[in-house]
Amino acid sequence: MADPQAPQFQQPGGQPQKPSGPEVRIFTMPERYRHGAEGKQHEPEKKVVQAPIELKTPTVPAPALPPKPAVPKKKRSSTKIILIAGVVVLLVLGVGGYFLVKSVGNKVEEVVQVDEVVEVVPEPEPEPQPEPEPGPEPEAVDPFAIEVSPGTDSDSDGLSDTEEKTVYGTNPRLPDSDADGFLDGNEVFHRYNPASTGTLLEAGVVVLETATVGTSESIDYTFTYPGVWDASADGDVLVLDAQTGEGFRISSVTKNPEETLEAWVKNMTTLEDPLVGTTKNGLVMLSSQNQLMTYVDLGFAVLVMEYDTGTKARVNYLQTMQMMLNSVEVKEVAEMEKVDEVNL
């Protein structure tokens, strides 16, 4: 509120005007009553004009919208598969239809060709052919024949393990049983004792057999065979039993001394491609490819030695057979008036 004692100014027009600027206050009190107080100028109080209060209307939240329905995703892979399958079916139908039409067309052509008239020319009757002359009857084949192979030779000395154990008493795992520098099989081949010194005949390992054969001329010959074997006569044949299921049959047949062994074998036997050899005593011999049949030329006779394998599939006495052949020797040839039978 303004001081009532403040001077008032009037503008022209008669209306008092409040002076601008700071308000001046003047002491009217005598100085003696002021007690030292001084007059001060006071700035008029500034009225704080309060900003009008803005009334806010409360915001009401809008109602929530309902959720949108989930739209199922399109199965692109299934659609692609269906499209591809449709394309494949169309291709198959197209190709099948093409071949079907083509086959029907071919059949129609065939029917048309069948309908054509074909002139049939009769073939000339064949001339009668002469009946072929009957050839030689095939040789009988032994249905019980079996393939054979050499026996086991553990030490590779030329003798099978069976020979070493049952005949010669040598070690089947030692190639030189008597340590004399010669293989056991080599000594047997040359008719020596592989278990000791001397010959097989001197050691009593083999026995000597003498036989006679002939008609106008008699021939005495000898050969040896293992003493542990059983020997028996079957007519004119000497049968040797090795007691292991194997054995030998030895016989002799007369022959013209001017006829060669090769010619005799060709005329008298069915042996093909024989092996030619010579015994240790210089006698010519012919053997089969498997060496199980051998013929020895005795001049006026032929010695026949046959290896009988029985039911065995292995041949255990090949080297012993070579020893027996090397021991064949002609002893005497004498004139004979008549020989009714062959004595072995």
**Mean pLDDT, the chain, whole residue set:** 78
The whole-number pLDDT of residue 38 equals 58
- The mean pLDDT of 240-254, rounded to a whole number, is 94
Q: How far does CA 123 lie from the centroid of its chain?
A: 57
CATH value of 206-334 in 2.30.42.10, 3.30.70.2520, 3.50.50.60, 3.40.1000.10: 3.40.1000.10
Determine how many CB atoms are found less than 10 A away from the CB of residue 245: 13
Confidence class for position 192, pLDDT limits 50, 70, 90: very high
CA 177/CA 62 separation, integer angstroms: 122
- Spatial CA neighbour of 225 closest among 205, 245, 243, 198: 205
- Spatial CA neighbour of 301 closest among 211, 231, 240: 211
The whole-number pLDDT of residue 2 equals 47
- The mean pLDDT of 86-112, rounded to a whole number, is 68
Q: Are 190 and 325 in contact (CB under 8 A)?
A: no
Where residue 198 falls (left for φ over 0; alpha for ψ -120 to 50; beta otherwise) is left
Residue 209 pairs in a beta bridge with 223
202 has pLDDT over 80: yes
Confidence class for position 229, pLDDT limits 50, 70, 90: very high
The whole-number pLDDT of residue 50 equals 57
DSSP letter (8 states) at residue 219:
E
Q: How far does CA 331 lie from the centroid of its chain?
A: 61
CA 282/CA 265 separation, integer angstroms: 19
- The mean pLDDT of 114-142, rounded to a whole number, is 61
The residue ranges of every structural domain in the chain are 155-204, 206-334
How far CA 298 is from CA of 66, 84, 97, 239, 258, in Å, comes to: 130, 95, 90, 20, 12
